[in-house]
Chains A and B, each alone.
Chain A
């Protein structure tokens, strides 16, 4: 192991003197992450939907829509609300893009809802904000469905056979009980929103894992350099096992990968406000990702005839895996075959693991992602080792 460490120490020293290596491992990923975040960060970051509310009714059901439905969403940062005095003003706001949609509660809305007459809740959408309009329609539709269920509950409580007038007091009590009752079915979204990386984290993370596949090449591929330069013969004539030379080269890749990714994690957190999540979980993902990248690179190097070929092939593999793994476009959200295929890349698992941490989970949450990357490393290392033994024969 001493010999492997000595060789790795020498290699790391050589790489540190190579400015292109520092450029590839640190400067480029950080600069691109910064640039992407600047260009696409605002588009990628979820912003609250902006709605206006026109309350021409001012009755209890209209008030409930505001206080029980919209205000909680505003407190959660999902929507931004403003009041408008008329449907015309609301329409102007939507047309000008000042709001995404307008809720119009017409006069008589509460009275109609409390009787057998139909009540209508209007939604005026902005043509420039189709998503915001869809969400507004969903909110209005959901509230209408709630009102319907309350009406059904009250009707059921009064019984089918009742006839004549029901005292207003009794009706109000029944309605209040129906509204306050626990909902029989509650749907919770624990996936997408909680596990979506914000742009300040996504871009550094995706660039870190993308460039990792380039930076680790600096270790393994140097074995081919040593062979062409003649220094490999000298290493093989030294009193160290040939396996130590190989381990030294792989160790160099791992050291470069772990150090450069760690620097990127810290730098992006400090400079760009990236939220990586639980440090132990991030550490686990980084190590697993570096091992997977080193395995892939070792496999490519074992198939190449020389260092130049290994570099070219490695770049092609890195770009293809990066594209499929979602470092440029989050293909996991595209769904379908592409999303399934992305799981054959360490990149997708790395980003997926970080997504788990984004929701505030502990290091155990990244075990599936880390396990997938380690499996990737074991398979690629295994094949690479069998082939790289030939490289050690001059």
Chain B
């Protein structure tokens, strides 16, 4: 069992002293599979918290519990000072939930979708109408608001999916992989929207397995693997875990295992991972030692096809902590 590490914990409380979200020791199993294990985290008002991990890490299960859709086996969830359970109808008013699926009705228009959820969140007809038009403007769908959603592009549906979550001005917005399957233009629009929400003071819980998104949007990031929160902190704090190391990606053929063993003995090399198409190396100073590194690999019987060197990032952090890639 590995205890999670918290680096310089954020001041996760609002001015009134209440966190937007506080989870303590959450655990959820499905049969023998432990999907979430001992997960604890806090998010302050206005803070964007990224839950980063590969597919199957337990991110969606965790946020399903936070959203009150799934009951945890153990642990406690408090949203805006109120306990959250699947039956906590009042507490759910504080949350805007944007599922990973396109949870919209294709045989209704965007306007009808929004008005339906406005009514479900307890808004009066006039309030729902006004708020619907505001959200349509925010997500850029005003001109096509009367069209059936089934005729929309994937990006437009994603925007509507997010718009529904924003409708009732929640204190905590949960975005579960909101950019999966989205074109670059729509992705950029979604990320800009996320930044704007944060600026408005909304707390955001953002799950993704795209490290660039997490780096761009999130004030703090929790890295999840196999259902456990293995580390959390700011991007700077997390990358510091890897030290000043560089990440070297070698695309190579031949005896990669022998090459990896040879490289592991070189001074400055902290971690070596063999992949299907090459080797990834975390090196204290790859730039000065690159020539020696490449000649060692070649001497061990591997043929190098390409080389790239990256500054430390979340991918490197994840690799450093788990020995595997985020995209695996």
Chain B hits for A235, CB < 8 A: 120
Chain A hits for B100, CB < 8 A: 230
CB-based contact A10/B105 at 8 Å = yes
Total interface residues in chain B, CB < 8 Å: 30
Q: Do A10 and B108 contact each other (CB < 8 Å), given the known contacts A230-B102, A238-B121, A394-B69?
A: yes
CB-based contact A229/B101 at 8 Å = yes
Q: B229 at the A/B interface (Cβ < 8 Å)?
A: no
Per-residue B-contact encoding for A1-33, CB less than 8 Å = 1, 0 else: 011001100100110011000000000000000
Residue of A nearest to B104 (CB): A231
The one of B70, B92, B99, B112 that contacts A230, using a Cβ cutoff of 8 Å: B99
Q: Do A241 and B87 contact each other (CB < 8 Å), given the known contacts A13-B112, A230-B103, A234-B99?
A: yes
Distance in angstroms between the alpha carbons of A17 and B109 in the assembled complex: 12
Q: A233 at the A/B interface (Cβ < 8 Å)?
A: yes
Q: Do A240 and B107 contact each other (CB < 8 Å), given the known contacts A230-B102, A233-B69?
A: no
The one of B86, B97, B112 that contacts A234, using a Cβ cutoff of 8 Å: B97
CB-based contact A231/B112 at 8 Å = no
CB-based contact B87/A3 at 8 Å = no
Residue of A nearest to B98 (CB): A234
Chain B hits for A10, CB < 8 A: 105, 108, 112, 116
Chain A hits for B95, CB < 8 A: 237
CB-based contact B69/A236 at 8 Å = yes
CB-based contact A3/B120 at 8 Å = yes
Chain A hits for B117, CB < 8 A: 234, 238
Q: Total A-B pairs in contact (CB under 8 Å)?
A: 71
Q: Do A237 and B108 contact each other (CB < 8 Å), given the known contacts A6-B120, A394-B70?
A: no
CB-based contact A240/B120 at 8 Å = yes
| Minimum distance in angstroms from A8 CB to a CB of chain B | 11
Distance in angstroms between the alpha carbons of A67 and B243 in the assembled complex: 120
Q: Do A14 and B120 contact each other (CB < 8 Å), given the known contacts A229-B103, A238-B92, A394-B69?
A: no
Distance in angstroms between the alpha carbons of A41 and B179 in the assembled complex: 62
Q: What residues of chain B have their CB less than 8 Å away from a CB belonging to chain A?
A: 64, 67-70, 86-87, 89-90, 92-93, 95, 97, 99-105, 107-108, 112, 116-117, 119-122, 164
16 A-B pairs in the complex with CB atoms less than 8 angstroms apart: A10-B108, A13-B112, A230-B101, A233-B97, A233-B99, A234-B117, A235-B120, A236-B68, A236-B86, A237-B69, A237-B97, A238-B92, A239-B90, A241-B89, A242-B87, A394-B64
